[in-house]
């Protein structure tokens, strides 16, 4: 009986630890990795717009002088981070 409990505990621990591995494989559900990547490539955004409600969140980073914005969406309506890019004439 003790061996069965030990095996069950080990299996449960393995299952729980694999949850974070799945998140690492698919990217973070809250877009932190994607946002860090954008900041690493383009520098700190000149403006940031945020939204949070109905179980979803969104942040748009604006680089006005580079003619670029990136919007990151995550939450209940998304399987993982959704990113969209908009380019325009810099000003």
pLDDT category of residue 2 using cuts at 50, 70 and 90: low
Domain boundaries, given as residue ranges, for the chain: 27-87
Q: What value does the mean pLDDT take over residues 2-24?
A: 44
Q: How far apart are the first and last CA of the chain?
A: 71
pLDDT higher than 70, residue 15 = no
Tokens of residue 32, six digits: 């932190």
Helices vs strands, H then E, count in the chain? 2, 4
pLDDT higher than 80, residue 50 = yes
pTM: 0.67
What's the mean pLDDT when you consider all of the chain? 80
Q: What value does the mean pLDDT take over residues 63-80?
A: 96
Which pLDDT value is given to residue 17?
41
């Amino acid at each position: 009986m003790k061996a069965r409990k030990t095996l069950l505990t080990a299996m449960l621990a393995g299952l729980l630890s694999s949850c974070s591995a799945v998140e690492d494989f698919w990217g973070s559900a809250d877009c932190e990795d994607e946002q860090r990547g954008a900041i690493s490539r383009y520098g700190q955004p000149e403006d940031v717009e945020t939204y949070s409600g109905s179980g979803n969140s969104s942040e748009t980073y604006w680089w006005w002088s580079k003619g670029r914005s990136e919007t990151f969406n995550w939450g209940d309506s998304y399987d993982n981070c959704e990113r969209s890019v908009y380019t325009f004439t810099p000003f």
